[in-house]
């Protein structure tokens, strides 16, 4: 290899390293003090009403709890960050604590999620269970058995996986099972709707492409414009699904398109 070729290679590597260095800057979207910048939407209530303080902040942690609920009564909830995102990485740590509230569905035991490309909470019906979105499903293991986390669920959406349009609702990742109240770190890289990849404790566990609205879904139909199904941007939300859960270190890194 000639000297000029070597020089070009060194220059290319240096430029790439510089870009990657700049790209490593994350910014917190949760300040650890209060819920400024976030909007709560709980089924049966309008956007902005934090029913029974379902979402609250204590000791630098965003906590989801059900004191005062009595029974759950399918009051699924979400808390939305104020900005839309398209090309980005999000990372956070979560853990499940305590017992599931009475009346919570069996599938919601140690179950929450990071909802990506969400519709605006103000456009949700008062009685709507979940925003149209791509869900990174967060699960905790039971006493025995395998139960993966950072799975995929698709409320009002579809994706392409293994070269095929997938229209069923949930898909398991290849993660380990995480039991008890340990903190688990999840990161998701989102390249518009083209590629989305899930990571758990630094390990890639799921990847899919071509996120899109599901034209069969009544709520998604209201969001489809001019027949365009492609889903390329939206809000981020976190779930309340009847089991107490905690979140911390919620950070986002913008990526170049």
What are the sequence ranges of the domains in the chain?
28-254
In the predicted model, what is the mean pLDDT of the chain?
A: 93
Band of the pLDDT at 248, cuts 50, 70, 90?
very high
Number of Cβ within 10 Å of residue 86's Cβ equals 15
**What does pTM read for this prediction?**
0.90
Phi, psi of 41 (to 5 degrees): -135, 115
Band of the pLDDT at 11, cuts 50, 70, 90?
very low
Band of the pLDDT at 15, cuts 50, 70, 90?
very low
Asked whether the predicted pLDDT for residue 20 surpasses 90, the reply is no
pLDDT at position 91:
98
**Rg of the Cα atoms in the chain:** 19
Percentage of residues in the chain with pLDDT exceeding 70? Answer: 91
How far apart CA 132 and CA 112 sit, in angstroms, is 16
* pLDDT tens sequence across 133-189: 999 999 999 999 999 999 999 999 999 999 999 999 999 999 999 999 999 999 999
User: What integer is the mean pLDDT of 8-19?
Assistant: 48
- Contact at 8 Å (CB) between 46 and 68? no
Band of the pLDDT at 21, cuts 50, 70, 90?
very low
User: What integer is the mean pLDDT of 246-253?
Assistant: 98
Q: Which CATH number fits domain 28-254: 2.40.50.180, 3.30.200.20, 2.40.400.10, 2.60.120.560?
A: 2.60.120.560
* pLDDT tens sequence across 194-234: 999 999 999 999 999 999 999 999 999 999 999 999 999 99
Band of the pLDDT at 257, cuts 50, 70, 90?
confident
Q: Which has the minimum average pLDDT: 8-12, 89-93, 206-210, 227-231? A: 8-12
């Amino acid at each position: 290899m000639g000297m000029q070729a070597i020089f070009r290679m060194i220059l290319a590597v240096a430029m790439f390293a510089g870009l990657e260095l700049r790209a490593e800057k994350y910014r917190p979207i949760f300040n650890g003090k209060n819920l400024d910048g976030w909007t709560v939407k709980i089924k049966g209530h309008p956007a902005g009403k934090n029913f029974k303080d379902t979402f609250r902040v204590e000791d630098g942690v965003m906590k989801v709890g059900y004191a005062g609920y009595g029974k759950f009564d399918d009051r699924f909830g979400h808390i939305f960050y104020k900005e839309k995102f398209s090309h980005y990485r999000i990372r956070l740590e979560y853990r499940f604590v305590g017992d599931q509230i009475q009346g919570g569905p069996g599938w919601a035991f140690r179950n929450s999620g990071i909802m990506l490309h969400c519709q605006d909470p103000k456009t949700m019906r008062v009685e709507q269970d979940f925003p149209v979105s791509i869900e990174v499903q967060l699960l905790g293991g039971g006493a025995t058995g395998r139960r993966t986390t950072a799975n995929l669920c698709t409320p009002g959406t579809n994706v392409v996986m293994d070269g095929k349009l997938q229209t069923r609702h949930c898909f398991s990742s290849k993660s380990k099972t995480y039991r008890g109240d340990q903190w688990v770190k999840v990161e998701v890289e989102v390249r518009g709707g083209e590629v989305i990849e899930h990571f758990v404790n630094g390990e890639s566990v799921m990847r899919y492409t071509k996120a899109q609205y599901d034209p069969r879904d009544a709520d998604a139909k209201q969001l489809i414009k001019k027949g365009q199904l492609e889903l390329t941007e939206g809000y981020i939300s976190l779930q309340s699904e009847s089991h107490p859960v905690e979140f911390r270190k919620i950070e986002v890194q913008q990526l170049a398109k």
